[in-house]
Amino acid sequence: MLPLVGSNPRPCSLARAAPRGHKESLETHQPRPTLTRGHSERRARHGLPPQLAVAREFARALGALLLGPLRLVAYFLTRRRLEAEVLGDLRSGSPPDDPPALSPPAPELDRGRPLRVFISCAEPSGELHARHLIDALCEVAAEHGLATPTLTGLGGERLDEKGVRRVGDPVAKSAMGFGVVAALPFYLRLLTDAARELRDGRPNLMIAVDSPALHVPLGHIARGYGVPVVHFVTPQYWGWAPWRVGGYRAAVDLALSILPFEPPWFDRHRVRTAHVGHPIQDALARVPANPDPDRCSTLALLPGSRNSVLRRNLPWMLGVVAELRQQFPELRVALPHDRTELEPTVRELVEQAGATDWVDLRFGSLHATLRDCRAAFSVSGTVLLDLLHHRLPTAVVYRVDSKLEAWLAQHVLTVPFFASTNLLVGREVCPEWCFAGDGPRGDVLEALRTLWVDGPERSAAREGLDLAASRLGQPGANRRAAHWALAEAGRERADV
């Protein structure tokens, strides 16, 4: 449900600048010695047989599952303190860290030998990030006179186009949607194959993209074979179940965060972190923004990108918009959607709601539609950052299956908001609701009304969106991530 300091480090160092307003010296933000293994251990050529390494991770996961209830009790006892800490983080966002200097290249980055990189992604969104990161990695390497990296790893067919020799495809499996138990044999085999490649291929670096459920155990395995691990897109442990960060800390050498409030949280939990900015900014840099939403008269309706989310939310949202149209007869409604394979489902639901005459369905034209909209009514998700790009005041909902899920959202999350726009500024810019059943229909309707008409609520929302956009940062996340990854590999090349 929850969908990111400046420094001038010496070449290939990982010094982090103190947060703005912080009086500690740079040295206090150096990685803790206990978190970094020695070079001889890091480049260990031996380790457990792959099957045993995977079995150890499976046992570790079972142990965590058994300890879950105790950790939940401990969490509730400290929840208020944790919430206060996270709220402070949300209000102290920082710009991306300056990437390490690679000119002149570190001696460990041999110009003649290509880096051997194991790159892994487990879902379509992660695969997209991985593809862009590979492009940036090759570009940065070439700019510094380094050979093009040799790539192996896990991912979908689209990685083939980037020259990756794949040893498994978790992306295709994730798209099939099997339950955890049914998919367990597949993932055990996948981890075993990956472990064998990490042991025998001895890559200089493993880059894992998102998907901590797969990459935390795989990171443990890689480090056991002496392979340093960089994780791109830090997990949202700050949002719920924060006790998981201990296992994460042991699984990665460097975490690359994409949201500006994440570095202080991970610093506090002793995870080596560099903030690189959000990769969506790289894509949005090429997208013309809405020049003036105030001149428009169309409401964007965004009901989600998954079939189950669509079916839960779209009929309810259409009912609310139908009531809004009674107050504003001139209001036009556009439903843009980039996933054309969901067109039959969307058309079916719109027809069932009797809204065919007043909902303009537009498939494959998200940003072209948003450029002509005045406001939005959206399900929570990454699309909120697309709406932020166009500065559209937005009411956000997330309708869940049961009252238990709604209760958990209110009592288990450590953040006061779930909409990414609100998280970026640490206050409610976009009114949001998570609920089961009929929900707060009247409250949502009133929020949409105040965001639609000119007035203080709409003006405040526009100002908040400007602040959120400024905190999201500038484009260049993929290049910054590539720089940090090369620097981390350079730290380890001496013992190859």
Domain boundaries, the chain: 26-282+475-495, 293-472
Report the CATH fold assignment for 26-282+475-495. Rossmann fold (3.40.50)
359-363 β-sheet, strand order: 359-363, 332-337, 298-302, 375-379, 394-400, 432-436
Given this model, what pLDDT does residue 93 score? Answer: 75
CA distance 279 to 129: 7
Report pLDDT digits (tens) over 157-189. 999 999 999 999 999 877 555 566 788 899 999
Beta strands in 254-374 (DSSP E): 254-257, 273-275, 298-302, 332-337, 359-363
Measure the CA dihedral 335/337/340/342, to 10°. -70
Given this model, what pLDDT does residue 491 score? Answer: 75
Given this model, what pLDDT does residue 108 score? Answer: 56
Lowest mean pLDDT, pick from 31-40, 229-238, 419-428, 474-483: 31-40
Q: Binning pLDDT at 50, 70 and 90, where does residue 110 land?
A: low
Structure tokens at 78: 């400290």
Domains 26-282+475-495 and 293-472 share a fold: yes
Given this model, what pLDDT does residue 486 score? Answer: 93
CA distance 446 to 34: 54
Report the CATH fold assignment for 293-472. Rossmann fold (3.40.50)
Given this model, what pLDDT does residue 40 score? Answer: 38
